[in-house]
A and B are shown apart, each in its own frame.
Chain A
Amino acid sequence: MNDLLVKDLRKTFRLSRKQRRIDRTKERRKVAVDGLSFTARRGEIYGLLGPNGAGKTTTLRCIATLISPDEGDVRVDGKSVLTDSLEVRQYISFLTSELKLDDFFTPNYLFDYFSRLHGVDAATRKKRKKDLFKRFGIDRFAEVKVADLSSGMKQKTSLAISLVHDPDFIVFDEPTNGLDVLTARTVTDYLLEMREAGKAIILSTHILSVVEKMCDRVGIIIDGRLQAEGTLDEVRRTDADANLENVFFQLVEQSEVAAA
């Protein structure tokens, strides 16, 4: 009941005439996610793996309540994204490159602003800001406008801001993108720490080494469908060499053959 449950999720998008021409299809709708089900449990990191256009981001956007599924549901701590979206947004943290920060403001102002929107009291906000800013090295540029920050600094700021409310469910889409090796390590260490603290974490990435190092269970999505799921060992065992990369490429090839 306390987990993040994705159940029979289906999401389609209407294709514009231009998109139909580019995709060389007569179909008016594109199926982005097709009957996807998985569970991210507390105290584990669930890796969502898939090639570009597989439906990972659409799934994450449904979880974050930015878009609504056509069919199925996502339940976060028992709350439905369809009927209790406000509560769901209180429990989750969502980080993706799609979410941008206003160039005019400083990390310091934005942290306070989003904390207020999440209803975090002043004392907790102050303490949390100090901890997160120190951990990700944001304190060195806390008063610099976002417009003047490097892409790595912006990513760190986005990361800290997504955690202003100390959420129980963390949904991160490529969180180490744009970060140097040291900061990327800080982020992965932080996620491992969060796992130990009993949070449920969904990590969407195409970096297999990150999945192998961090994830407890993994789901491989291709063409909007879950093609494989299980613990890392369970998924690896489907390949003779127990190699995750081989498993991934085999599934992609099978999918291409089926589509042809």
Chain B
Amino acid sequence: MKNLWVIFKKEIYRVVTDKRLVLGVFILPGLSIFLIYTIIGTAIGGQMDEEQAHVPTLYVENLPGEVEAHLDAHMDYTLQEGTIEEEALREKIREEELDLAVIFPEDFAERIDSREGIPEATVFYNQGSNHSSNAYNNFNQAMGAYHENIIMDRLDDPSDYHPYELGTVNLVDERNVVAQGFAMLMPMLIIIFLFVGVMNIGPDAIAGEKERGTIATLLVTPTRRTEIALGKVLSIALLSFASALSSFIGILLSLPQLMQFDDTLPDISIYGIGDFAVLLLVLIITVFFIVALVSIISTYAKSVKEATTLIMPFYFIAMIIGIMNSFGTDVNQSLLPHLAPIYGPINLLAGILTFEYSLVNFFATVLSTLVYTSLFVVLLNRMFSDERIMFTR
């Protein structure tokens, strides 16, 4: 097995000494994710800040004093002076020159006090404008409080309005809230990043060598096909892991900005060393599984382009399983799903992140994934010995 390490070292050397590959495999994935998510986060934060800072301009006709008091209590606003015709009012709202307009009847308050019919006020707003929608919501809250006051005034005993009190005690474990957040996001991202990492390296390392004719030069050396297969799988796994790590660092660094966490990283201290060790083990076996799968496809393909095309359906399946996990409610605790390729590791990752996994499920996933990977490596070994696969162009 000496040649396994010779091939392994050559594959690593090939990537780490190529500036373009270093940039494309290790730097760009993390950097691009960091920049994209930071830009998105900054844009969302900026929009929220701007929304909060905006003081809506209201036009109100015949504003009753009591309503004004409620408005003052619920929102900041500027009143538009003067009188505006309804048609012009509609135009100003559409053009976002005004955020909200309300026309009360002159005798609005009087009719409420005397209970003579139901007075009707008209509100104009523009749902397509954030400022207008926010002003409308705040106005509704103020009117809700006003409405409540009227009802209470009409009751003989104001306490009739509240026939009961509802006390709530939230016993949430903050640790679980954070864990649920991680479990929703991380398994999906992990599987996507690992797949992308492998796809960055795998097709070129095998299909590329076939395409360029360099694999034949290796095949005439006294090297066992198993050594070639394992040398490739191990080196691709290590490089892919590093590539995926770059993506993780990118997303971790951009999370505070993206999730508006006040510039602090999500608290990962809820997990202990044991949790991280188990996570790492699952990640490693998952990487090997994906690498073995991609290696088989790359060996079968005649070119890098063909390999990438053939890998895509598997990537989409993995992505869909990851997304399904994100939107799922609870971690599946049955044994059988833990034996499924891709789904098993994703489910187990979610279980580890939420502290809801059993040792039986853990071993079921780890061992089954190792078995699948070993079978793939055996198949890969056979493919390397098959002249129809290795020399068909």
A: residues with CB less than 8 A from B are 14, 64-68, 86-87, 89-90, 92, 94, 98-105, 113-114, 116-119, 161
Given A102-B214, A116-B6; 16 other pairs, CB 8 A cutoff: A64-B220, A66-B391, A86-B222, A86-B224, A89-B220, A89-B223, A94-B220, A98-B213, A99-B216, A100-B214, A100-B217, A102-B14, A102-B209, A113-B6, A117-B7, A117-B222
Does the CB pair B216–A100 fall under 8 Å? yes
Q: How far is the CA of A117 from the CA of B216 in the complex (A)?
A: 14
Secondary structure of the A side of the interface?
A: loop
Q: How far is the CA of A65 from the CA of B219 in the complex (A)?
A: 9
Total residue contacts A-B, CB cutoff 8 A? 60
Q: How far is the CA of A115 from the CA of B214 in the complex (A)?
A: 16
Does the CB pair A98–B216 fall under 8 Å? yes
Q: Say yes or no for B381: interface residue by CB 8 A criterion.
A: no
Q: How far is the CA of A104 from the CA of B14 in the complex (A)?
A: 8
Q: Mark B69-89, 1 if CB is under 8 A from A, else 0.
A: 000000000000000000000
What is the minimal beta-carbon distance from A208 to any residue of chain B, in angstroms? Answer: 28
Does the CB pair A66–B216 fall under 8 Å? yes
Closest B residue, CB atoms, query A13 = B388
Closest A residue, CB atoms, query B208 = A102
Closest A residue, CB atoms, query B15 = A104
Q: How far is the CA of A104 from the CA of B13 in the complex (A)?
A: 11
Does the CB pair A114–B221 fall under 8 Å? yes
Q: How far is the CA of A46 from the CA of B223 in the complex (A)?
A: 27
**Residues of chain A lying within 8 A (CB to CB) of residue B216:** 66, 98-100
Q: Mark B187-229, 1 if CB is under 8 A from A, else 0.
A: 0000000000000000000000100111011111111100000
Q: How far is the CA of A127 from the CA of B209 in the complex (A)?
A: 30
What is the minimal beta-carbon distance from A113 to any residue of chain B, in angstroms? Answer: 6
What is the minimal beta-carbon distance from A89 to any residue of chain B, in angstroms? Answer: 4
Q: How far is the CA of A118 from the CA of B222 in the complex (A)?
A: 6
Q: Say yes or no for B387: interface residue by CB 8 A criterion.
A: yes
**Residues of chain A lying within 8 A (CB to CB) of residue B162:** none
Partner of A100, one of B14, B213, B222, B391: B213
Does the CB pair A117–B14 fall under 8 Å? no
Give residues of chain B (219-250) contacting chain A, Cβ–Cβ below 8 Å.
219-224
**Residues of chain A lying within 8 A (CB to CB) of residue B18:** 104
Cross-chain pairs A/B with CB under 8 angstroms, 11 sampled:
A66-B216, A66-B391, A87-B222, A98-B213, A99-B220, A100-B212, A100-B214, A100-B217, A114-B217, A116-B3, A117-B218
**Residues of chain A lying within 8 A (CB to CB) of residue B10:** 113
**Residues of chain B lying within 8 A (CB to CB) of residue A94:** 220
Does the CB pair B213–A117 fall under 8 Å? no
Does the CB pair B222–A89 fall under 8 Å? yes
Give residues of chain B (1-27) contacting chain A, Cβ–Cβ below 8 Å.
2-3, 6-7, 10, 14, 18
Does the CB pair A99–B217 fall under 8 Å? yes
What is the minimal beta-carbon distance from B225 to any residue of chain A, in angstroms? Answer: 10
Closest A residue, CB atoms, query B217 = A99
What is the minimal beta-carbon distance from A156 to any residue of chain B, in angstroms? Answer: 15
Q: With A67-B391, A104-B18 as given contacts, are A90 and B220 in contact (CB-CB < 8 Å)? A: no
What is the minimal beta-carbon distance from A120 to any residue of chain B, in angstroms? Answer: 11
> Which of B7, B219, B221 is most buried by chain A, counting CB atoms within 10 A of its CB?
B221
Q: With A100-B216, A102-B212 as given contacts, are A117 and B391 in contact (CB-CB < 8 Å)? A: no
**Residues of chain A lying within 8 A (CB to CB) of residue B388:** 14
**Residues of chain B lying within 8 A (CB to CB) of residue A98:** 213, 216
Closest A residue, CB atoms, query B21 = A104
Closest A residue, CB atoms, query B224 = A86
